[in-house]
Chains A and B, each alone.
Chain A
Amino acid sequence: MADDLDAYFRRFQAAVAGHWAKDLSTLISSNGQSLIKMVKSLHTLRQADTDTISRVAHNTILDKMWQDIAITSWKVAYSIHVALDIMEAYREQNTLTQLLNRVAERTDRWILPVIYTVTQELKIIAMEADHHIKERILRSSASNSEKPNKLEEAARTINRTLTVCLNDRNTPLPKSRKWGVYFIISLLFKIYFKLGTISLATSVVRVLNASSTVGDIPSVEEYPKAHMVTFKYYVGILAFMDEEYEKAEEHLQAALNKCHKKATINQELILQYLLPTNLLLHRRYPQKAVWHSFPRLQTIYKDLFTASKRGDMRSYEAALAARERLFVTRRLYLTMLKIRTKIVRPRLFEQVYLASDKSTRVPVSAFRKGLEFVGIDVDDDQVECWAAVMIYQGQMKGYISRERKIIVLSNNDPFPK
């Protein structure tokens, strides 16, 4: 045991001294094989053991802070794999991240892979810890003093990591910690979306923009594709939720273009927002191949898209109602409602126009009956109002004659694509 320990810390020291980030990540990770093997050889962490660990760490690792980091990562692994104490594991992992933040301040780009490993594991462990707390609250049905806010807390620690990356003023760009910015921001996005604190995600973007305008953060295109895709995906969704669909389309499309061929889940996530955006902006429907490759998207969207193409308001409403919960939680609902008025309703009016043999003078009552046919019972004034909005937004060309109760449609393409 002592020999293993010695060897472990020697490798740790070598990795620190040599800036071998990859090795160091494996050593530090609570999922690293060597660490797991070693902590598992202990059944209880007695005082004597901790003393030994500290002593060996102090003897082999030169730097005080790295000693603490090594010992803390050891404690995390022990809590997870032996003591099975997720709360303790979380506390130690949080400490570990904080320690690493401090060490990172005096190092450069080489440390980034280690940071990625530790922050990512912090997120996972924090989620586990929250899950654990929630279960405990459920079981005891009493409002325990502890709240499931570990992920929130972890986000604060990781936010600090972001600052450490953003504020690297001394090292020249090629070696700068700034190359960690987009990874960390993406990780924060993931957490904030999970927590439902979208405003925090928006404020991270603001911080980034503020730093970028100072001119020292390279553009996201220069970063690894993985960072860029995740970042663009989230910025796209943020724009989508703000109903800035053009911006959403731009970012989502960029994310999709650079997304790894085999990362189908990621492609699916991107398309989940990109498909309705395309429909709303350009009335563009996906090809069959898309449904084929992404059966889940087919389940969600196919009925709705088909109904919207036909102007089948009734089917659209029914499909929408069936998926309301899903759309609301994924923040798609408002957009799907928008599609209903901007895409589906004009199609329905178009159907009426086609059914009246493309007459350019269609009585308001004809449209009213068309609506009635799909189960929408409204008066003529409401029909006129909807028609007016369509004309105003350019989905229908023509004008309404209030006096004669007819809608006069343009001879030339009254329902432009």
Chain B
Amino acid sequence: MLYFSKLRIVFITFFSVLFILIASSNLFKFDDNFFDKKINLGLDLQGGSYLLLEIDNEPVIEQKLQNLTTTIRNYFKEKNIKINNIKIDNQNIFFNVTNDDKQSVLDVFKDENSDLNPYYPRFKSHQLEIEDTGLNLKVNFSRQGLIKLKTSSQDQAIEIVRRRVDEVGTNEPNILKRGNNRILVELPGLDDPMRIKSLLGKTANLTFRFVTNDENDRFGVEKLKFENDLEEATVSKRIIISGENLLDAQPKMDTQANQTIVSFTLDRVGAKRFGKATSTGIGKQLAIVLDGKIISAPVVRDTIASGSGQISGGFTFQTATDLALLLRSGALPAPLEIIEERTVGPDLGQDSINAGMIALAIGFMLVIIFMFVKYKIFGLITNVTLIVNLFILLGVLTLFEATLTLPGIAGIILTVGMAVDANVLIFERIKEELKDETNNILAFDGGYTKSRTAILDANITTLLAAIILFFMGSGPVKGFAVTLGVGIFTTLFSVYFIARLFTSIYVSRNKDKEKLI
């Protein structure tokens, strides 16, 4: 156990120096970009905002079912199959069939090449499930159908969220999917997430619809409130143009009226429809509706064929900018709810870093002093190993660009405290061996060999805890699991290679010395 080949010594030295260099790249900037990786600071250390958004898919499902009833009705009409009484209740579509048609209706839904009911061969499942309850049939989304629907609305939502966050221009945002109905947004360096929160909280569903007094409007009507929550207007459900028709939107200063407005440009389809609507609707009020509230309802004075227009509604420059941003980035497929928020101000982050570093320095000093007092020369060896271990640990974290959090720093300090364990186990064993073994080298050899199982056991148990924590924990706690887990490997390396190397050099030079340890 005490013999080291030259090659191995070279390897150990090289490895240690390499990681010390990597670790120090966090402190210095190397000129030649030799290594420009850095440990990432977690949001709790650099300050920033962590937002967990949940997509409320209920409206999407409702909407899809609405569309489906139309599709089903038309589909069977075309095939001359009679279905009637089609209605939606509690996320199920119900309709009646005649006894003669029943089987053919069921066949349509169960056909693997059905146009009406897409089949997912991978999951061996249709989009829709049909339940045979006599002459009244029940159709609803299958499990796979719902999953598909959720993932697709998540895909759309994450795209919109990304656009909105990018438009605000925070540095290096992190936007990730979580499950099939959540989106995680990490915004480093942002200490006041108020604006982003309000931007993400809006669906930004924009429609232009005529104000009407005709209760019997062909498309139906609804009463909508204005933004100020005071006035109301009856608005047709017929949509002239919607947010999808927008090419661009920008905040502008209207110098004539001396107010901030949002000017927009429409795509070709939108421009055509807008032109037609404004030519036939001169004198009518056109309501601009955002997320179910009327921003404003100007009277159409002229045909607008240019495909561009403007929205006024008593905006401040900030609200106009935000509205333009929302319109540019598009509407969310479904409303988002912020179900978890954690924001740390940058000065608290800095305080945490300072406190963590002081705790690390003091913890380190205490352990080093204790080990030196207890073991003298071998304490010194342990301490040198401990320092190298710390650098290797930081080096590994740097190499993988791991995220360091406050609990992560605690994990490093704890590693320092527990790292001596392996060396202590070895040294204590050597002491015991020396009681009846006069040959120093043999005693040391025995000490290393016989303590090995205990050391492995001890480290595996801690590693198990760290692994579970890594998979179950979230955010800062995950950082703790990382440093604790990586710390175990670097500790084993430094104990079995670095400390053993020093020990072997010392012991072979003091072969005959009594009371070596």
Asked if A pairs with B, the answer is no
Chain B contacts to A: CB under 8 angstroms: none
